[in-house]
Amino acid sequence: MNSAPFLKVTNLSRVFDVSRPWLNRLIERQPKQYLRAVNQVSFELERGKTFALVGESGSGKSTIAKLVVDLLRPSSGEIAFDTGSLSDLRGQERRQLRQRVQMIFQDPFASLNPRWRVGDIIAEPLHAFGLVQSKAERSSRVEELLETVGLAAADQYKFPHEFSGGQRQRIAIARALSANPEFLVCDEPTSALDVSVQAQILNLMKDLQRKLNLTYLFISHDLSVVKHMADRVGVLYLGSLVEVNEADALFSAPRHPYTRMLLDAIPDHEMSGRSRTPVTGEIPNPIEPPSGCTFHPRCPKATEQCKQVTPTLETEGIAQVACLHAS
């Protein structure tokens, strides 16, 4: 078995120039402003496994997803697949990687062309990557994909608006699978769906992972969803990883105060009666982040040291945590 990770992200950063127009800055004598959406993020993902990135809105999850699928270019750092660094791939190698890596978006209706029939939507990657040679082969493959995600073959003649939200997400999954990918980046794939439908889509994704040996990068703000899906979890806060651990260990014994805060926000359906710390404050302005540990304005364990020293992600066994007072 190959011990090399399928995906290795090293010191990944992305900075956006959010300055006002040049003339406005000249008149008002304002400097340029930069937003560091992703800050020195590193993690590895094994083939056939699921690595989840969790955090509040604005933590940089979706930016990392777009960087990994090459929709954005990093400001610094490296994204390397088993075939080599993404920045080094050219021509046919880059095209092959695009086929191996597909993405499932948050809003299934927004990600589907409303003027195309479902069969044409699913068949688009087949044509783009030259995976079919005839109309009969195309139709057969589309029918197979629809049945794989729990829809009927006749659904290929309908338009996206004729389906429910859960059915549209199944169509989006079928489109992603039509390229015969090995790796799916799932950006909040169930957050736009009803709670009753979320479990169906998550179970479908788990079944497809086992059947097709898929590797997932799973993006979510909902830790209850992540608990069902992930093998390993990375917790993001203001663009930086603050804790990385195996899913079971992270949920049973969180090390970082922010992770504990996110876990306490999960409804206690079992009515265990355990003490919970309510979520306090809001994520700071990423253009002007706090000094030291960026979580210190909201942290119940914060000290004067936390305001001055920026903690680094320290490795302890299989876990990593960035906190001066980790439990």
What residues make up the domain containing 179? 7-321
- Spatial separation of the C-alpha atoms in residues 138 and 127, rounded to whole Å: 9
Q: Are 232 and 51 in contact (CB under 8 A)?
A: yes
Q: In whole angstroms, give the CA distance from residue 52 to residue 247.
A: 9
Identify the burial level of 229 via C-beta atoms within 10 angstroms of its C-beta, where 0-12 means exposed, 13-18 middle and 19 or more buried: buried
327 is a domain residue:
no
Q: What parts of the chain have a pLDDT lower than 70?
A: 1-3, 267-279
> What is the pLDDT at residue 1?
43
* Residue 326 belongs to some domain of the structure: no
Per the structure block, which two tokens stand in for 29?
Answer: 């004598």
| Token pair recorded at residue 205 | 């994704």
The CA-to-CA distance between both ends of the chain, in Å, stands at 36
* 160 Cβ neighbours under 8 A, 6+ residues apart: 109, 112, 113, 114, 116, 118, 121, 168, 171
Q: Domain for residue 2, yes or no?
A: no
Q: Among residues 111, 223, 132, 106, which one has the least CA distance to residue 175? A: 111
Does some domain include residue 270?
A: yes
Q: What is the dihedral sign for C-alpha 214, 216, 222, 226?
A: positive
Residue 1 is assigned to a structural domain of this protein = no
Q: Considering only CA atoms, which of 174, 99, 108 is closest in space to residue 144?
A: 174
Q: What is the CATH number of the domain that holds 116?
A: 3.40.50.300
Domain assignment of residue 26, yes or no: yes
Number of structural domains (the chain) is: 1
Distance separating alpha carbons of residues 5 and 8, to the nearest angstrom? 6
Asked if residue 123 belongs to a domain, the reply is yes
User: How far apart are alpha carbons 107 and 110 in whole angstroms?
Assistant: 5
Q: What is the pLDDT of residues 241-296, one digit of tens each?
A: 999 999 999 999 999 999 998 988 776 655 555 666 666 778 888 899 999 999 99
Please report the pLDDT score of residue 278 as a whole number: 65
Residue 223 confidence (pLDDT): 87
* CB-CB neighbours of 227 under 10 Å: 16
